[in-house]
Chains A and B, each alone.
Chain A
């Protein structure tokens, strides 16, 4: 389960009290869930009323995600309430405070005895089938001595996948820092120009005449978004992604990452549609 603690996201130009209210609901549920406190401490209908009242105020994807997280936490509370009732009925319910006091009062020997008298060891057997034995023999016969295996291992096999950042690409002289910055600047100017009359469609913006160019555009745009120079507005219901220019790093909103898949098939379909249009 996610342990993220919402502390009321500061949103420029938006009223923080709504976020505080939402964050309080999420934190309360998470705290009860973690500490195994009484889940009936959460008044579910009242919290749902609050969420319903706040719903029209949410505009951005982050708002809706936070709202969804609150709903998820409340639904978990309902499950915990159900478990709580089942547990009380099962005879496993006992006041935790009483148990705590008794544990402190009992001697080590008495505690050990209590667990031994409740312990019914498991009976299980390991087995080896003739088929598995045969597999093992085949494997043993085919495997090379470890000294030879180490020798034969190519350098490629030992290298692991990792992410290479811009600074490293520049250091490796794979790209030029100046050229990259110019590209980013051009992309930003194009975005400002295209989104003069409001946010524009993401795909329309990144689509290029070739697949490689489309991927490069998407990559540059992601860089702008990471830097807080562009905002993505994702509507999960209508499945649309809009993009708009932003003021800069200061306006950057909480560290959420969004994966957008650009497959060759998708690019080809988009090009076909663009040609038809």
Chain B
């Protein structure tokens, strides 16, 4: 088999491993990619990334500590989980696609921003107190439970809420904090962005 054909086969395999759900969670661990693709799996992932660019998708690497690693070590990459996500964020007009109402999205934004500012975890009671300023109790309870069920949040037996795996994958938390704290040049407004 020529080198090109072999590489194409590896790219297809990488796409299959990352996008098809194998276990309870989607995505694949770095060491699994290494096992099936070989030591140069990161090279293959970069090539896959180029192909996904055309489709408006990108490979997202979530490290085990939930933080960004500009120069990850081999071990960090093996422990990280690889996903494919949409490159462009959702637009206001896409809100209905998430299946959530505007006020549920607002509860979600406030919760994730608050938890992120508190090192990714805070007692559920504190989160509820913050949300009670704007939302009724029944809605807060219903929404928090919904986020937990969908993997956006996690809760331990002591009633402490954590940022869940899906939030780490799907939400650009730095951007969210910048938007909410107002430090972003982008203003928080309701004007729809152009899709160009």
Contact = CB atoms under 8 A, between A and B. Distances in A.
A121 B157 contact: no
A98 B117 CA distance: 9
Interface in B15-58: 19-21, 26-27, 57-58
B119 A87 contact: yes
Given A36-B118, A115-B105, A125 B188 contact: no
Interface string B166-177: 100111111111
Contacts of B109: 111-112, 114-115
Q: How large is the interface on A (under 10, 10 to 19, 20 to 34, 35 or more residues)?
A: 35 or more
Interface in A81-139: 83-84, 86-87, 90-92, 94-96, 98-100, 102-104, 106, 108-127
Contact of A110 (B57, B114, B122, B189): B189
Interface in B102-132: 102-103, 105-106, 108-110, 112-114, 116-123, 126, 130
Contacts of B121: 36
A1 interface: yes
B65 interface: yes
Interface residues of B, number: 69
Interface string B79-103: 0000111111111101100100011
Given A87-B67, A122-B85, A104 B133 contact: yes
B176 A114 contact: yes
A102 B176 CA distance: 12
B65 A86 contact: yes
A108 B27 contact: no
Nearest to A109: B190
B79 to A, nearest CB: 15
A120 B170 contact: yes
A34 B123 contact: yes
B81 to A, nearest CB: 11
A3 interface: yes
A120 B89 contact: yes
B154 to A, nearest CB: 13
Contacts, number: 175
B95 A121 contact: no
Given A34-B158, A118-B89, A123-B57, A113 B189 contact: yes
Contacts of B1: none
A171 interface: no
Given A100-B130, A111-B105, A115-B109, A83 B119 contact: yes
Contacts of A104: 130, 133-134
Nearest to B115: A36
Interface string A242-256: 000000000000000
A115 B19 contact: no
B105 A92 contact: no
Interface string B141-178: 00000000000000011101000001001111111110
A120 to B, nearest CB: 4
A102 B19 contact: no
A126 B180 CA distance: 35
Given A111-B105, A113-B188, A123-B84, A90 B68 contact: yes
23 contacts: A35-B118, A35-B122, A35-B123, A36-B120, A83-B119, A103-B110, A103-B113, A109-B102, A110-B188, A111-B106, A114-B176, A117-B175, A117-B186, A117-B193, A118-B179, A120-B87, A120-B88, A120-B170, A121-B85, A122-B169, A124-B26, A126-B20, A126-B21
Given A86-B65, A124-B19, 10 more contacts: A1-B158, A35-B126, A102-B181, A103-B180, A104-B134, A114-B176, A114-B179, A118-B176, A122-B169, A123-B84
Q: List 10 tightest A-B contacts by C-beta distance, closest first.
A: A124-B26, A115-B109, A112-B105, A111-B106, A114-B179, A108-B106, A118-B176, A36-B118, A99-B117, A96-B117
